């Protein structure tokens, strides 16, 4: 079950489409403010790999 505790990206500015993240025991849920009904769910390991790739750009 997805939690109600969504955290907004610290890079988000007022009025921008923002990435929101929520976690539970074994999953990371990702959505953005423009498509809040669309949620991508990944494992913590996959999310860590994704963050590493993004930071390397």
| DSSP secondary structure, 15-53, as one string | TS--EEEEE-SS-EEEEEGGGTT--EEE-HHHHHHHHHH
Q: Is 3 domain-assigned?
A: no
Can you give the residue range of the structural domain that contains 34? 17-55
Residue 47 placed within a domain: yes
pLDDT tens profile 1-48? 555 688 888 888 776 678 889 998 899 999 887 666 788 999 999 999
Residue with tokens 């489409």: 17
* 39 located within any domain: yes
* pTM (2 d.p.): 0.74
- Residue 29, in any domain of the structure: yes
CA–CA dist 39, 31 (Å, integer)? 5
Q: Determine, yes or no, domain membership for 7.
A: no
Q: 17-30: per-residue pLDDT in tens?
A: 788 899 988 999 99
- Classify residue 21: in a domain, yes or no: yes
Q: How many domains does the chain have?
A: 1
């Amino acid at each position: 079950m997805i939690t109600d505790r969504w955290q907004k990206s610290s890079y988000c500015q007022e009025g921008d489409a923002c990435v929101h993240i929520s976690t539970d025991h074994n999953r990371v849920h990702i959505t953005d403010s423009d498509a809040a009904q669309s949620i991508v769910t990944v494992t913590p390991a996959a999310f860590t790999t994704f963050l590493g790739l993004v930071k390397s750009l």
